[in-house]
Homo-oligomer: A and B are copies of this chain.
Amino acid sequence: MATRYEKREAGINRSEIRAFTDFPSKGIVFRDICPILKDPEALAAIIDLFEERVRETCPGVELVVGLDARGFLFGPLLAQRLRVGFVLVRKKGKLPGPTASVAYTLEYGQAEAEIQEDAVEAGQKVVIIDDLLATGGTLYATCELMKKQKAKVLGCLVVIELKDLKGAGPNRTRVRVLPWSSTEGPLAPGGCSAFRSIPLRSWEHSFIPDVPAILNTFSTTTLRSTFLSSFR
């Protein structure tokens, strides 16, 4: 009998996540989520998965924090399901009023993730959402922003996780919900060792709620050189 996750997977797989080679520049394989957005059943299935996972593993979440710009496509949908607010993290210079920002390293330079100072309160429990996790630079910076604001990050959610570019094929493109854990030691801005995730072999595995949250380190070495500046 198909599990609820398998049923959801079937819904999502109807619309492929397409891969485009050499976009936006040579050597980059771009994962295109547009077909998901265009298929209302697939999009609903994605949000179902997010919602279930958050309800199971992030009790008491008070805000969904979404990343500019493709995190905006999924974040408000999840926030509405949970009946909580949605907060925008934007590229530097887009948000009015007093802001807090965190710089992070891209392959060729720096970028800054910014939030309005009054967007989150000290102690508030948040989950962070984006479309795709490649190097994790932006997600990491956002977690740092949350720390700065004394908010508590309960989890990070992404639609696609690029686990290993070398071996990447359609079967490597998975909807993921990442558990989040800060490492104890110091981390360089843009460093990704803070991202630790459940090994993913099937949908069901990835969503079993009682799997320990931290099992292995998310490896980004391979991805770093290729994807680093391409998705933001």
Chain A residues engaging chain B, CB cutoff 8 angstroms: 18, 20, 23-24, 30, 32, 34, 37-40, 43-44, 47, 63, 68-70, 72-77, 79-80, 83-88, 93-97, 116, 119
Contact = CB atoms under 8 A, between A and B. Distances in A.
A110 to B, nearest CB: 20
Contacts of A75: 73
A43 B75 CA distance: 12
Contacts of A119: 34, 38
Contact of A37 (B70, B74, B87): B87
A32 B93 contact: no
Given A43-B80, A76-B76, A37 B88 contact: yes
A40 B80 contact: yes
Given A20-B96, A34-B119, A80 B39 contact: no
Contacts of A34: 87-88, 95, 116, 119
A39 to B, nearest CB: 6
Contacts of A63: 38
A69 B95 CA distance: 13
Contacts of A23: 96-97
Nearest to A33: B88
Contact of A18 (B44, B70, B83, B97): B97
